[in-house]
């Protein structure tokens, strides 16, 4: 891909992270193709877009203050690879950090697939947090 394409992908990535940080599933959904899937290393299953948005809604309730901090991003054929840290203050005041790496594939300028690698033990505190 040429520099313009890399710039466009990275600008799209920046807008996507900003939408995730905003926590509005309707806005986040606009970044995906209708048939997008999200695969996780810890269960080896593809999650539908609807289920992924339900997970986002749950996370926003559990962690009202959260931020995806980009550590590394590399352009790859058809999308990008991203390493990030999800930093959050949970509804119960507890802090959380979750380290992740994602391979994100685009189709027609939208996210078609995310393959997410993370340690679910780092997210265990989310199950303990009570929503405010």
Show the domains of the chain with their CATH numbers.
Answer: 3-128 (3.10.450.50)
- Cβ neighbours of 132 (radius 10 Å): 10
Q: Do residues 34 and 42 lie in contact, with contact meaning Cβ atoms separated by under 8 Å? A: no
Q: What is the pTM of this model?
A: 0.88
112-127 burial by CB neighbour count: b if 16+ within 10 A, else e? bbbbbebeeeebebbe
Rounded CA-CA distance 85/89 in Å is 13
Q: Do residues 28 and 20 lie in contact, with contact meaning Cβ atoms separated by under 8 Å? A: yes
- pLDDT tens track for 58-98: 988 888 899 999 999 999 999 999 999 999 988 788 899 99
Overall average pLDDT of the 37-55 stretch: 95
Q: Do residues 129 and 94 lie in contact, with contact meaning Cβ atoms separated by under 8 Å? A: yes
In the beta sheet, which residues pair with residue 98? 86
Give yes or no for residue 4 having a pLDDT over 80: no
């Amino acid at each position: 891909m040429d520099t313009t394409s890399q710039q466009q992908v990275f600008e799209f990535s920046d807008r996507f992270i900003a939408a995730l940080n905003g926590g509005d599933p309707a806005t986040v959904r606009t970044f995906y193709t209708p048939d997008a899937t999200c695969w996780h290393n810890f269960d080896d299953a593809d999650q539908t877009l609807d289920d992924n948005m339900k997970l986002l809604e749950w996370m926003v309730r559990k962690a009202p203050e959260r931020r995806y901090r980009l550590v590394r991003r590399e352009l790859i054929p058809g999308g990008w690879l991203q390493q990030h840290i999800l930093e959050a203050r949970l509804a119960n005041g507890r802090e959380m950090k979750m380290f992740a790496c994602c391979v994100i594939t685009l189709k027609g300028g939208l996210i078609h697939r995310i393959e997410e690698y993370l340690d679910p033990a780092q997210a265990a505190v989310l199950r303990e947090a009570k929503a405010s």
